[in-house]
Amino acid sequence: MGTTTDSHADIPLWRRLAPILASSLLIIAVFMVFPKLIDYFFLRNLHPLAQNCTDNATIEVSNFQTYSSFVTTITGLLALIIGAIGIGSYISFQKFKEEEGKITDRRNQLDMFLKIEEARNISESDAAYSTAIKLYDEAEKFHCNYYMLYVLRGEAYYFRNETGDLQNAVKDFELAIKLKKNSSRAWFGLGQARFKLIVKKHWRASAKERNLKGICASLLTLANNDGLVNAKGEIQIAMDDIETAISFQYAETPARLELGKMYKLTGDNQRALHQYKMAYESNKFHAACGFTYALLWLVENDDRLDSAEQEGILNILKKSSVDDVFNSKAAYALLWFLYERLERPDDAKTAKAMTDQMIIDQLFELRPQ
């Protein structure tokens, strides 16, 4: 069920008022012309008789004509008033219907927003995403022309299950874009979903893993990149979606990271490195983003590690070792490796000590209580 609309909303006002105006004019014409017809047919025949009558009879005829004109004038005025009242009542009725439609529409929108908010507040888990999708389905009954509804449901489809309900996600993101072509969030989600669909075609499980029920994404291994390399045409469409999202002011950091991941999985590490660098430069306070860029830079520039400090890689790793909770151990390990290659033994010793300490701390954290 969509928004409530008046069935006469597309008919111009003058066309809606035309029948009423015509009826009013007809009533006026009847009241104005009918007395004149009486004057014409009755009084014309009466007038010759009056010539042979006394003066009193002539005066009576004259008085009747005056009375007839008075009645005709009053009747015409009453007809005009009645017509004006009718037109005013019709206009008021139409206004009332329009306002009633707007109120109904607002009420449906409120119901939709309540359902959306309820779905968004659900915790992020597989069951919760399914519940959220049901709530979005209910919201769609109240208002099917709200683009953000399809963006949110598309995201829920994208994250549902271990590998995502990607076909439905793509459909919802496309619906959102149809309703609002400059929705950066919809374009970004569409690019992600399309790319994940392509990648999904080229993942396979080992013989042992195929016998397991409920295989999750972490158990799947990529046989090789040949399929992804050959699917560059399809992947380019997903990349174009991400670029469109950026052009519509989507947050550049996650968008560039996504593009970098796409290039990396197709074996184009140089372009991936360029995207990671742009992502880092768009937000230098994003430690995880900096770590991703630094790691690939080290892989691609193993023959020129002496320029790591000049390129800012050392500073990025130092920042990641402190600020990036998820990659801090890896950042210290890379600093240890890099300092060894740069022949800076004191710094290498400090980085190694920090790496060891963090691993020991983690072991104690994992120790059964």
Q: What is the pLDDT of residue 144?
A: 79
DSSP 157: H
Banded model confidence at residue 292, pLDDT cuts 50, 70, 90 = very high
- Extents of the domains making up the chain: 13-119, 146-204+223-282, 284-369
Q: Are the CB atoms for 290 and 280 separated by under 8 Å?
A: yes
199-204 contacts at long range (C-beta below 8 A, 24 or more positions apart): 199/228, 199/265, 200/163, 200/166, 201/227, 201/231, 202/227, 202/228, 202/231
Backbone angles phi and psi of 157, in degrees to 5: -65, -40
CA distances from 215 to 37, 161, 186, 330 (A): 97, 11, 29, 28
**CB atoms near residue 294 (< 10 Å):** 29
- Which amino acid makes up residue 274? H
The model's pTM: 0.65
CATH architecture of the domain 146-204+223-282 equals Alpha Horseshoe (1.25)
pLDDT single digits (tens) 5-29: 444 445 565 566 666 666 666 666 6
Q: What is the pLDDT of residue 3?
A: 44
Which range is least confidently modeled, 127-136, 264-273, 318-327?
A: 127-136
pLDDT single digits (tens) 355-365: 888 888 777 76
Q: What is the pLDDT of residue 211?
A: 47
CA distances from 93 to 83, 84, 85 (A): 15, 14, 12
Q: What is the pLDDT of residue 262?
A: 92
What mean pLDDT comes out for the span 314-340? 90
3-state DSSP percent of the chain in helix, strand and coil, to 5: 80, 0, 20
pLDDT single digits (tens) 148-204: 889 989 998 998 887 788 999 999 999 999 999 999 999 999 999 999 998 887 765
Strands, E assignment, 158-282: 203-204, 221-222
Q: What is the pLDDT of residue 311?
A: 93
CA atoms within 13 A on the CB side of 280: 26
Q: Nearest-CA neighbor of 262 among 191, 208, 213? A: 191
Q: What is the mean pLDDT of the chain?
A: 76
